Each structure stands twice: as C-alpha cells, then as structure tokens.
Structure 1
Amino acid sequence: MTLRSYLWIIRTGVIAMLAAWILVIKQVDPEKTGAIGQAIFFVATFLLLAGVFVLFFTWLRRSIGGDEKTALAYIGMSFRQGVLMSVLVVALLFLQQNRLLTWWDGALAVAGIFLVELYFLTRR
C-alpha cells in the first residue's frame, strides 16, 4: 500500500468520524442515555482524534524527512503515537467529566503515555 492510498483511507475515516462525532454531540443527551451515550461520545472522540493525530504525525515526518519513503517507513510509529495521544486526550476528558482532573493527575497521565512510548522506542 502506498503512502498516498493509506492517507486517503485515514482522511476518509476522519471525515466519517467527524460526521459521527457531530451527530453524537447534537443528538445524544448524556443525562437520558446514561453510560451508553457517554461511551459513544468517548469512542467517537477517540477515533476522530486518533485519525487526526495520525495524519498530523505522518505530515510532520514527511515535512522533516523530506520524502515519501521516510514517512512510509515510519507510518507504524505515526499510528502508534496518534493512538497514544488520543488515549491521553480521552483519558483527560474522562477525568474532567468526573471532576477528578487536577494538574498532577494530568501530569501523571502525560508521564504514563511518555513511558509507554519510551518502551516502544527502546524495545528493539
């Protein structure tokens, strides 16, 4: 699969998830639907942000590396980092929703994601 086709698949997914996220924001009442409505919101947010972050990290590697081969070589890393960043944002949103988010909780979440990324970078 070429980088161009991979990016088009991700872009299409991001557009679809943006539409789904807007639909959830406009149509789902979290007080009436309870935990299911909140779970749908968090899943839609996670998938949307994961796609956006993957596209961003791929663009960043392509800009820094200068060619398509460099970006294609690191596409797995971009995907992993996009998913980790999305996990971080959704975890912080969940903590904020439950009124549990403080600065040290946010710092611990960032440190945890950082340690997971360091594990993946050094396990080779």
Structure 2
Amino acid sequence: MSIKAYNLVMLLATLLAWLGFSIIIRSFDPTDGSWLVYAMFYSLLFLSILGTLSLLGFLIRSILARKKVRPRLMAAESFRQAIIFSAVLIVALMLQAGRVLTWWNMALLIILATVIEFVILVFRQNDEQIKN
C-alpha cells in the first residue's frame, strides 16, 4: 500500500470513528449507560484519538524532516506513538471516571509510556544492528 493510500484510509477511518463517537455522545445518557455503552464510548474515543494523532504526527514529521526519511518509517513511528499516547489518555479518562486519578497515577502512566517507547526503540536498534 502506498503512503498516500495509507493516509487516505487512515483519514476515512478516523472520520468514521469521530462520527461514531459523536453518535454515542448524542444518543446515550451517561448516567443510564450500560457497560456496552461505556465500552463503545472508550473504544471509539481511542480510535478517534489514535487516527488523529497518527495523521498529525505524520504531517508534522513530513514537514519538519530535514533529511530524507522514508515515509513508511515516519508513518510507523507516528502510528506507534499515537497508540501509546492514546492508551495513556484513555486509561487516564477511565481512572478519572472512577474518581481514582491522582497526580502520581498520571506520573506512573507517563513513565510506563516512556519505558514502552524506549524498549521498542532499543529492540528496533538491536534488530538494525543484527541486519548490518
């Protein structure tokens, strides 16, 4: 799949996720919602944020790329970091909904996200060294 097709599919999927999220917001009362409504709410919000951040990350990387970086690599990095950031955001929202979000919970989430990103970077660097 070309990078142009990838971005188009990602844009359409993101718009569809935002549409679904807005339908959930307008159609259901949060006080009367079942676990299924909450599951749809958080999953659609996750997908919406994921797509938006992935597209924005790719756009910013392509604008700021001083050296020629492969677009496929930029898209993969943007997608990976969007997954991590979206997951942190959704977990923080779930903790806040349960009224258990504190500053140290948020600090632990950020530390966990940072560790995950560093582990991925280290393994990717090791894979590149093995290939060379």
Same fold? TM cut 0.5: yes
Give the fraction of aligned pairs with identical amino acids, expressed as a percent: 23
Structure 2 CA distance, aligned partners of 1:9 and 1:29?
A: 31
Cα deviations across residues 43-102 of structure 1 (Å, max 9, x unaligned)? 010000000111011112101215885332222121111111110110000000000111
Change (3 A) 1:65 1:76: same
SS of the residue corresponding to residue 46 of structure 1 reads helix
Match of 2:44 in 1: 44
Scaled by the length of structure 2, the TM-score of the pair is 0.87
Contact 1:84 1:113 in 2 (8 A): yes
Cross-structure match for 2:113: 113
Please say which of residues 23-32 and 77-86 is displaced more in the overlay.
Answer: 23-32
CA distance in 1: counterparts of 2:24 and 2:68, whole angstroms: 36
The DSSP-based 3-state class of the residue aligned with 2:117 is helix
User: Counterpart of 2:76?
Assistant: 76
Cα RMSD, aligned residues only: 1.6
Aligned pairs for 1:97-112 (under 5 A) are: 97-112=97-112
Moved more, 102-111 or 66-75: 66-75
Q: Which moved further from structure 2: 68-77 or 50-59?
A: 68-77
TM-score by length of 1: 0.92
* Paired residues of 1:20 and 1:44 also in contact (CA < 8 A): yes
Who wins on radius of gyration, i.e. which is larger?
Answer: 2
Distance 1:5 1:68, change over 3 A: farther
Give the whole-Å Cα distance in 2 for the aligned partners of 1:112 and 1:17: 26
Matched, 1:3 2:3: yes
> Is 1:93 aligned to 2:107, yes or no?
no
Gaps of 5+ in 2: 127-132
Tell me, in whole angstroms, the C-alpha distance in 1 between the residues paired with 2:67 and 2:53.
20
Asked whether the equivalents of residues 61 and 70 of structure 1 are also in contact (C-alpha less than 8 Å), the reply is no
**Runs of 5+ in structure 1 lacking a partner?**
none
Pair 1:18–1:68, CA change in 2 (3 A): farther
Task: Please give the secondary structure, in 2, of the residue aligned with 1:100.
Answer: coil
Q: Aligned pair count?
A: 124
